Every structure is written in structure tokens, then in C-alpha cells.
A and B are shown apart, each in its own frame.
Chain A
Amino acid sequence: MFYSVLFPSEESAARPRRKTMPEAFTDLQLDVVMKRGLQDYQELGLEDIYYTPVTDPEVIQYRQEVLRELEDPAVREALSQIVERFGSLREFMDGLRQKMAGAMKLSDSSRRNYFYKIPIPGVTSSKTRNWMDMARVLERLGEFTETLADFAGSVERLRFRSAGLRGFAEHVLRFCKSERFLEMDAEARRLRAAFGGIRYCLWFKSDNSAVKVLPFEEQEDYAAGVEALFSRFRQGETRDFRKHLEEEPVSEKLENEILQLLSRRYPREFGDLEAFSEKYLDFDDDAILRFAREARFYLGWLEMTEKLKEEGLHFCYPALEEKPKETFARDCFDLALALRQNRGVVTNSFSLAPPEQILIVTGPNQGGKSTFARSFGQVHYLASLGLTVPGTAAVLPFCDGVLTHFEREEKLKDLNGKLRDDLMRLKKLMDAATPQSVFVVNEIFASTTAWDAQVLCGHMLEAMIQKGGNAVLVTFLEELADFGPQTVSMAAEAPEQEGGSASYRILRKKPGGLSYAMRLAERHALGYEDVKRRVGG
């Protein structure tokens, strides 16, 4: 029985999930990624999926398979309507059902009120119904059946392979073949066509006293006459003075009264609508609606990554292993940076073969170190969600979370206060860590003396080695580069020529050795050849 497209079983879906954003999100700028790439994830209530890393291989495989299958545009096209239309259908229908149940009671009391009024035959109607809510049932139901029928029609052709999509498709096919479905679909189509063809005239007085309904007979349009008169002065773009006016009525009651008047002209159509809305009020289906919401997890991701792929960047499906012989990621990049600047994003690779466990990154400012550290953290985290990761290939360990320590800008603290703060944060980090945690530490202890910093970093590295997870440490302390067999030194690549600009490439190498004497004109590309090439002629 199909349950969810994010979890292979109802049991795995029931495991507790994190409801608040992990602290690492800000440091790794995953919050930016979520915001820019996946705008509506919060609206859909999918936050907990992003906030909860998964270490169950079965779930990871289930998600990777679905994601891979969704890369096919034809598959996505087939699902797009379901996803767009059903995302918030459940909330809507629940609200409507509640309201319609309540309205029953209300109409009882209002019916009583009529006894105190003198009914004027033909002027005041004594039993106005809520035509608009009935029409809402029709509207949503019609959308629902049409969308599902369309999808069912394309299932055969698509032959889903992933367990997640196959399960969903089978569920929909069963649903669409049911007699009830076929009946309500046909009836909904007929009713909508009937109401779509109606056009009437409404007459109302500006003193708010009365409304009348009469037939439409191609009367002359006022505005068109004015437009024609002044058209000779028209040039270029014109401003639109029409206010954006809500077409929903202020008073639904009055709108229903108008429809009540109209129902006398179209008694059969309105009668059918009433019967229809009662009969099919509970048309929606749990598993289908859940799918519509959850599929956004994949679709949002694909939409974002594909835009970047067009810019020449790569994403890959990481292989997740319990204890990889070699952890590596090739040509990965900082996703947040890529989303901001699109072009010219520098890619980097890293690898850790046991006993190697920690990358020590050194180099000058503005050389791309923090960016590198972020992408290291991102790769581990995204893999643990069952998503693709930036890069051309990756083998990674299962990870239950990324723990980060980035330099914070807190100006009011004195240096000792800052150091204490650093240590407290680090303590908290270490306490939270498990053997499956990944660390990303960026410029820690920068406020203390080099000697202190070196000793403290040493302690920290020891603690990380104890825990056993992968880590990256960005530091200005080049002495840490050859800390032990568990650490690997990486450093910013030297510019190709003296005075050239930073390449932002981080390589596995000993630190230092870069010259940064700048040749200004070269940097601004103002040499003879550069200028001539740009100007052309």
C-alpha cells in the first residue's frame, strides 16, 4: 500500500523529525539555498524534511531513486498538475466541510427569523442557499478528477522504475478506475460547462437599496466610446488606471442572494449543483494529497539544480557508505555562492582516506577558504537528505548532522570574553557530536595569541579525532597543517603569475609560498592588448 514518496514505509515516515532549523544552516548558508531555490518549502510544511538528516540506507536509496527518475522532464510534466493543484487542497476542503456543516445550523436560525418579517412574494426569497460553497466543491472536485485522469493516461507510457513513483502511480490507477470516480468526473464536467455559458445583467442602485437580475442582450460598452475618442493622442505605453479590484464579493450573502435570483432563470442548473455538492463532498484522497505536497521536495530541488547545470555546474548522486575506503567529492562548489553569482563559480575537490579524517585549510584572505569549508559541509548534509550534491562524483559516509563553528561578529565583547565564548560554543558542539557527525570549523580562536590558538586547536583536533567523523578546519595557523596522520593539509593555489588574481582553488598541498604583489594595470586589464581586444575596431 503506497504511503509516502519520501519514505518507503509508513513506519519510517513515523520516526520523529526535527522541527527547528539546525544551527549549521546559517553558517553553511543552507538557509539561503532553501530560500532562493525552494521558495515554498515552508508553506508546504516540508521544513522538517530538510532539517532532519537520514542515516537509514533504505530511505536514502528510496529518495535517490525517485529524484533520479524525476530528472526526466516527461515524468515531471506528467506530475506537474498534481503537484501544483493539490498542494493545499486538503486544508481547503476541510475548511469548506466545516463551514458547510456550520451553515446548516445557521440557516435553521435564519429560517426562524423569517417568521418575524412579512415576506413579499417575488421580492424576498425565503430560502437562499449557499450557492458559492456548492460551486467550490464542484470547482475543486472537477480539478481533482481531471488532473488525475490526465495523469492516469500517461502512466502506461512512462513505466516508472522507482519504488516511490511506481507505488503512487498504482494507487492513482486503482482510484481512477472506481465507479464513483468515473461518475463524479462526468457530472462535474457537465455542470461546469453549463455555468460557464451564463452571462447576465445586474442592476443595482447607488443608495444600496436593491439589486435586480435581467438577461444580457449585447448592450453598448461605455468605456470603449471614450477610448475611441481620444485614441489619436495615444503614443507609446499607457498607464493602466484600473484599480486591481477584488472580484470576490464583500458580502457572500448578498452574492448568494443574487445567485438565488439568477437560479429562477436557470432552475435546472442550480438544482443539479445542489445535489452534486451533497453527494460528493468527500471526494479527496489522503495518499494522493500527501504525494502532491511531498513531491515538491524533489521538484524544488531539481528546478534549482537544473538552472545551475545550465551554467555548466555539475551535480551527482553520492554513494553513501558506512565506512568508506575513501571519502571524496570531485569538483564541488558552494551552492549558496553559485545561486548568487551564477557564473564563474570555482570548483574544488577533496578526499580523505582513513586514517585521514580532517582537512586543514590555510591561505590568504579572500582566497576561497570559507567557501570551500561551506561546500564541504553542504555536500555531507545534502547527501544525508537523499539529494544530489554539487560535484561530478562523490563517496560519503552517512551523516547525522553537520556541526559548525564560524567566527561570529560580536563587537562589544572584550578579547577574553570572546575566547570564553568560543570555548563554550565548542564545548556545546562537541557534546552534541556523535561518531556520524561532520564538523566545519572556520577561523576559531582568532582573537587570542597565536600560541594559545595553536594549543587550543590542538585540543580541538584531538577531540574530533576521538569522535571519528569527517571535519574541515579553516585556520591561519599554518603550523596545524601537519598535525598528524589524521589531518590533510590543503591550501589556496598560487596565482599563475605574479600579481595575478586569486584562483579560489584549494589544493591538497603544503601551506604558504604565495606572492601577492599586485600589478595593478594587469589586474584591471588595462594593458595595450587587453584594451585593444575589448574596444575592437
Chain B
Amino acid sequence: MKVNLLLPDGCAASESIPAFARDALKKDLELETILNAVARKDDFILQALTEAIFSPLPTPELISYRHEALHDAIDHAEEVRAIYDLCLSTDRRRLGTMGTLNWMNNYDLNTTFNGALESLNVLTEALRRLRKMAEAYEERFQSRGFRALFRMLREELTDEYLEEVKRQVAELRYPDSFLVSVRLGNHLQGVDYVLLKKSKKQTLELAVAPSYRLGEEDEPAKDISARQARAVNGVTNALAQSAMYLFDFFDRLRSELAFYIGCLILIEGMESKSMPMCFPTVLKGESEQREWEGLYDISLVVTKRASVTGNDLRAGHKRIYLVTGANQGGKSTFLRSLGQAQLMAQCGMPVGAKKFTAPLRRTVYSHFKREEDRWMRSGKLDEELVRMRKITDYIRPGDLLLLNESFSSTSEREGSEMLRQVTQALADSGVEVFSVSHLHTYASAFRGREEVQFLRAQRRSDGERTFKIVPGEPLETAYGEDLYKEVFG
């Protein structure tokens, strides 16, 4: 039984973003701040959103599939939460632990057998309740995902089926004797024990069969319990696997619902700070059109617990976005907001903006300047180069790279030249690059180029920074002096 709330049957997300790039993105884009705030302590939400964000969808169609279901979730939040709560009651960590024993990982077969049986009882009851909910909700929902789910539950979990499950579970109890079929092993030891159902005929035969009465020398206690274990091994496996199937089913359902619950929490959270969220327009990967209005850094709202400034832009046919300008002028914040929006848009989440239009980018990579690491063994520039090398080993045409003050740990000239070569090579290979840099030589090298969009941290004529990022070519002077003045008065 498939859930299919996140993807239609038979569809798959793109290959997920490589682990090293995920780790960097989490840090660089402050994704962890956002995800932890949304998930609170619910691991399922945390995992569902994390997994989604790092597994971009390959087509705009699949994104609308999620948008549709998200609209349903927004309109029927109460129902969606009710199903989610039912899933909570089937948590395997709770049901997997009967008393103090963890039956799923227990060495003792008896424990596994009884634990599985008990879990199956509870799970079967949950199935019955789930079926009831499906019957009640089906008509109210509009999206393909939710409607298909409800129909499947109604059709598969009929009363007859649920009765049969109950009967079978009840019938299985440890018997006081065992009948197994046996084959002879390589030195005539009995092997391949298979537990059999006793028939009437057998009961008769048993009465007259030759028998042996056990004595002390036979180590009866140990030997017979070993034989018992072999006899019930197969049926215990069948029970435990069945319980696992059901756990897995509820887990899948819960994980997929968790994505939508997570989105709901995020939207509510932003609304409470008067920050809008929108359903983005996602274009095909071939497009080079980008447009945003009021694009803001969600993590900043989370940490400041207040509303923040947003940015606007409308651009077309650009490959390289070069952001220059004053220190602490909002450049990194802007880059983060763009990265967040891109990743969230690509997985069907709403984004932090009034409006956001962007093409699909297969994978997003980030290369941000890192604070000095006390334990760092290699030099700082060397560390940056190693990271860049790794990114360029993985990155492919159609991907997006976010650069933040890369190679600024060496001299202006050297850093500029290295960064220029990398940026140019990537853009020429079909990678889209957003680069925040104060390396003047670097930025100037791209002046007058069609495929480059220059952006600049805005500064009013009186020298005051607005934290807005606006179109504009790099200026000759850096703004370190401003900062100096601000700090030293």
C-alpha cells in the first residue's frame, strides 16, 4: 500500500544533493535554524522537510502536485492534523518496547514473538480507525494526492479483511507441543525445521508413534528450548515482518504528512510576524528568468522574532549574479534568502517572499567563507581550495552555485584571479553562479558582460545603509571605512 502524498505513483525526486553539499548548505543558509524552529521537537517533521529540501523535484508538474496537496492541507488543517495524530499513536519506538524489552532487537525469540503479536493487535486497531477517517474526509479534499490516499484506504481495509487479521493473530499462541518437518543434514542432524499445523489424522498417529523419554544426559532443558526456537523461527519472522510492514506503512504516512504539517507551521510562524509566504512559480531548468519581490531571509525572522527587509529584482538571460558593496550591508542575508527560496521552491514548499519566480536548478552548492577553525590543520586558503575542488568535482551543468566571499583569505590579486577562473569556467559550462564578493579586481573583470547581473548593497547618499540589495555595478571604494567610522565614532 503506497501513500503517494508527496509524489504521484511511479514518480521520483531527483537524485538528492550530496552529503557534503547538504552539510555546507545547512550551515551557510541557516537552514538548521529554520528547520529546528519549524519541527520543534518532532523528528518526523525535521526529517521530512530536510529530506524534501535536499531532494529537488525534477519538473514543475511535480511541484504543482505538492502545491495542490498543500492547498488542501491549508484548507483542512484540522483533518490533516487528526490523521497525523493517529500516526503518532502507532509510533514504533513505543510499540516496539513491550514492558522494558525491545522486541524488535531482542535476541530472545519468545520476546520477539509476543511483542510482535501484541503490536499487531494495536496496529490493526489503528488501521480500522484510519479507514473510518478516510470514509469521512474523502469528499472534502480536492487534491489528487489526498483523494487517492483515502480511496485506497477504503478499498484495501475492508471489514472482512480486518476481521481475518484479528482471527489469525488470536489463533497464534505458543502451543504446548510442536510438530515440525525435518530433513537430514550433512551428518544426519535434523535440519530445515518447518512448523506445521496439526491435523486430526496426525493426532491419531502420534498416539502410536515410537517415542523416546528424555533423561538427564540429554540436557533436556537446553536442547528442547533450542529445538523450540528453531520450530517457531519461521512463524515469528512472519509475525514480526508483518508488524514491521504496518509500522513502515504508518511511518510513510506520517513522514509524508509531516511535510505538509511542517509547511503549515512555517506559514503560521511567518504570518505571526507579518511576513508573507507565497507559492512560487517554478520554471523549467532551461529558463534563465528570475524575478522576486519582497524576498527575505526566513532564518533572520526566526532569530530576530521580528519582520525584516525584503529585496526585489526582475532579471532575464543572466548566468552570473555578482553582489558587491558595503560590509554588513545585507549581502550575505540576501544570498541566504535566495538560496533558501530556491531550495524550498524546488521541493514544493512555499517561500519567504511576496512573489518568487525561478527556474529549476538540479542541485544547489554553496561555498561560503568560513570562520577560522581552531583545529584546522591545513591553511585557510588551502581549506577553501579543497572545498572548491570538491564542489567542482560534483557540480554539473544546470546546477546553482552560491559563493560568499570565496578566496578572500589570500591577496586581492591572487584571490580575484582564482575566483574569476572558477566563476567563468562554471558559467561557461552552464552553471548559474551567485557570487558575493568584495574582491574588486574580480568583480570588475565581469563589467559590461551580457550574462552578468550586478547587484549592490544599497547606500543612500548620506552614507546610511538600507540593507537592500539593488541592481548596480561595483563602486571603486569599499565600505570598510564606513564600518570603521561607525565603530570608532
Residue positions of A touching B, CB distance < 8 A? 120, 122-125, 131-133, 135-136, 138-139, 195-196, 198-217, 219-227, 229-230, 232-236, 238-243, 245-251, 253-255, 257-261, 264, 520-521, 523-532, 534-537
Contacts and interface: CB of A to CB of B under 8 A. Distances in A.
Contacts of A259: 188
A234 B214 CA distance: 43
Interface in B173-204: 174-191, 193-199, 201-202
A214 B205 contact: yes
B461 interface: no
Contacts of A211: 211-212, 214
Contacts of B14: none
A247 B230 contact: yes
Given A211-B211, A261-B211, A251 B182 contact: no
B182 A199 contact: yes
A234 B245 contact: yes
A212 B234 contact: no
A174 B227 CA distance: 47
A229 B124 CA distance: 12
A195 B426 CA distance: 71
Contact of A223 (B156, B195, B198, B389): B195
Given A531-B425, A535-B392, A207 B181 contact: no
A222 B197 contact: yes
Nearest to B205: A214
A203 B226 contact: no
A208 B177 CA distance: 10
A523 B386 CA distance: 10
Contacts of B431: 535, 537
Given A220-B197, A232-B156, A241-B241, A257 B226 contact: no
Contacts of B246: 230, 233
B211 A210 contact: yes
B130 to A, nearest CB: 12
Contact of A532 (B218, B221, B425): B425
A535 B209 contact: no
A212 B182 CA distance: 12
A230 B177 contact: no
A536 B222 contact: no
Contact of A537 (B182, B213, B235, B430): B430
Nearest to A110: B217
Contact of A526 (B164, B217, B385): B385
B1 A233 contact: yes
10 contacts: A125-B212, A132-B188, A135-B187, A195-B184, A204-B227, A226-B235, A235-B1, A257-B212, A528-B424, A531-B392
Given A132-B187, A132-B189, A536 B230 contact: no
A100 B428 CA distance: 81
B265 interface: no
Nearest to A122: B210
B418 A521 contact: yes
Nearest to B425: A531
Interface string B209-249: 11111100111111110111110011111111110111011
Contact of B190 (A225, A238, A249): A249
Given A209-B214, A221-B195, A243-B109, A226 B242 contact: yes
Contacts of A132: 187-189
A341 to B, nearest CB: 19
Given A210-B214, A221-B194, A261-B212, A201 B179 contact: yes
Interface centre among A230, A236, A260 (most CB of B within 10 A): A230
A131 B185 CA distance: 12
Contacts of A261: 210-212
A240 B206 CA distance: 33
Contacts of B382: 520
B210 A235 contact: no
A239 B381 contact: no
Contacts of B109: 243
B165 interface: yes
B195 A241 contact: no
Given A233-B245, A531-B422, A241 B237 contact: yes
A222 B195 contact: yes
A323 B376 CA distance: 54
Given A226-B235, A534-B392, 11 more contacts: A124-B212, A203-B177, A206-B228, A210-B213, A210-B214, A233-B242, A238-B244, A239-B244, A243-B233, A253-B218, A531-B426
Given A204-B227, A245-B230, A226 B244 contact: no
B233 A202 contact: no
A93 B44 CA distance: 59
Nearest to A128: B212
B161 to A, nearest CB: 9
A225 to B, nearest CB: 7
Interface centre among B172, B223, B431 (most CB of A within 10 A): B223
The 6 closest A-B pairs by CB, nearest first: A537-B397, A230-B242, A233-B245, A537-B429, A531-B425, A241-B240
Contacts of A520: 381-382, 385
A219 to B, nearest CB: 4
B218 A195 contact: no
A221 B180 CA distance: 9
B406 to A, nearest CB: 11
B317 interface: no
Contacts of A131: 188
Contacts of B252: 235
Nearest to B112: A241
B388 interface: yes
B181 A216 contact: yes
Given A206-B224, A226-B168, A255 B213 contact: no
Contact of B389 (A125, A198, A524): A524
A301 to B, nearest CB: 31
Contacts of B187: 132-133, 135-136, 138-139
B129 interface: no
Nearest to B208: A214
B49 to A, nearest CB: 22
A222 B385 contact: no
B371 interface: no
A526 B213 contact: no
Nearest to B245: A233
B196 A220 contact: yes
Given A214-B206, A220-B196, A526-B385, A254 B223 contact: yes
B219 A254 contact: yes
A258 B226 contact: no
A121 to B, nearest CB: 11
Nearest to A205: B177
A250 B223 contact: yes
A207 B429 CA distance: 76
B133 interface: no
Contacts of B214: 208-211, 254
Contacts of A232: 1, 156
B462 interface: no
B222 A250 contact: yes
B211 A199 contact: no
A198 B393 CA distance: 61
Contact of B178 (A200, A203, A235, A521): A203
A373 B156 CA distance: 71
Nearest to A206: B176
A324 B234 CA distance: 69
Given A238-B241, A249-B223, A219 B396 contact: no
A236 B244 CA distance: 12
B421 interface: yes
Contacts of A125: 212
A209 B213 CA distance: 6
Given A223-B195, A242-B237, A250 B428 contact: no
B418 A200 contact: no
Interface centre among B188, B195, B226 (most CB of A within 10 A): B188
Contacts of A521: 385, 418, 421
A120 B212 CA distance: 10
Contacts of B375: none
